[in-house]
Amino acid sequence: RIAAVKTIIAQEMSLSLLSSAPVGFAAPLPAVRPVAQPRPLTMSAADGMEGAAHETGFTTWDPLGLADLGSPATLAFFRHAELKHCRVAMAAFTGWLVAVSGVHFPGLCSFSEGISFEDISQLTPMEQWGAVPALGKAQILLAIGIIEHQSEWKIKPHYMAAGGKPGDLKGLKSFWDPIGLTSKMDAKKLERQRLSEIKNGRLAMIGIVSVLIANNMPGAIPLPIAFPAGPSLVLPF
């Protein structure tokens, strides 16, 4: 009986050794690295719009993704607003240069109050607006309002509708191009001029803000220019 037990124990030990041998001498398996999944390409709604040039590597610069906030009509509104601000900023910066140069119209600005253009030219740019009589300010703002109204309601199709073009004022022919300069340009020339307008307008927005705050924020513009003193902002009336 003891011999039978020893035989059984010997058989079990042999089986255990045989079963464990492959594990002890198995070659290590190579590490399997996870395969990186290709990231889906994301397209911005602003891709292909005019305005991408050397400054942005010919790509749309929109780090906050504002172009994708709404519908195509929303994007058209953004572009129309940008072009409006560009045009106003270019006019404002040119006006600022004229104001600080002392160039002015002859005669009186207000006959009733006896204020001449020469008197106004002696002031800083923002003070010049403050010196304009209230009726003169009202006339300027009314003219701006009429142009804005006509550009929003007269030009069809609307720039936010299908077929509309943001920034297009061709419907206001006597205001937009009274001497017909654009009628003599081919499609390539017009495309270049539109790009120039956007680029110059963006620079003008930075420029007009810079000259307005330069005197009140020392060192904001590191140029040896004596910027005129005065407030950066004034009330309309």
Which tens digit of pLDDT belongs to each residue from 131-170?
999 999 999 999 999 988 888 888 889 999 998 889 888 7
Tokens for 154, please give them: 């007269």
Which amino acid belongs to residue 91? A
Task: Convert the pLDDT of each residue in 34-76 to its tens digit.
Answer: 655 555 445 577 787 888 888 888 888 888 888 888 889 999 9
* Residue 224 DSSP symbol: S
Q: Tell me how far apart the alpha carbons of residues 237 and 235 are, in angstroms, rounded to a whole number.
A: 5
User: Residue 10's pLDDT is what?
Assistant: 53
* Residue 116 DSSP symbol: E
Tokens for 122, please give them: 């002696």
CB within 8 Å of 99: residues ≥ 6 apart: 121, 124, 125, 128
Region for 115 from its dihedrals, namely left if φ exceeds 0, alpha if ψ lies in -120 to 50, beta otherwise: beta
Q: How far is CA 124 from CA 10, 11, 235, in A?
A: 110, 109, 15
pTM above 0.85, yes or no: no
Task: Convert the pLDDT of each residue in 177-230 to its tens digit.
Answer: 777 788 888 989 989 999 999 999 999 999 999 988 888 887 778 877 778 877
User: Residue 155's pLDDT is what?
Assistant: 86
Which amino acid belongs to residue 155? I
Q: Which residues are 116's β-sheet partners?
A: 108
Tokens for 21, please give them: 């041998």
- The helix (run of H) or strand (run of E) holding residue 115 is strand 115-116
Q: How far is CA 43 from CA 36, 67, 92, in A?
A: 21, 11, 35
**Closest residue by Cα to residue 167 from 48, 87, 77, 83:** 83
The predicted model gives 65-90 an average pLDDT of 91
Q: 172 near 60, Cβ under 8 Å?
A: no
Q: 77 near 85, Cβ under 8 Å?
A: no
The predicted model gives 90-110 an average pLDDT of 92
Q: Tell me how far apart the alpha carbons of residues 191 and 200 are, in angstroms, rounded to a whole number.
A: 14
- The helix (run of H) or strand (run of E) holding residue 110 is strand 108-110
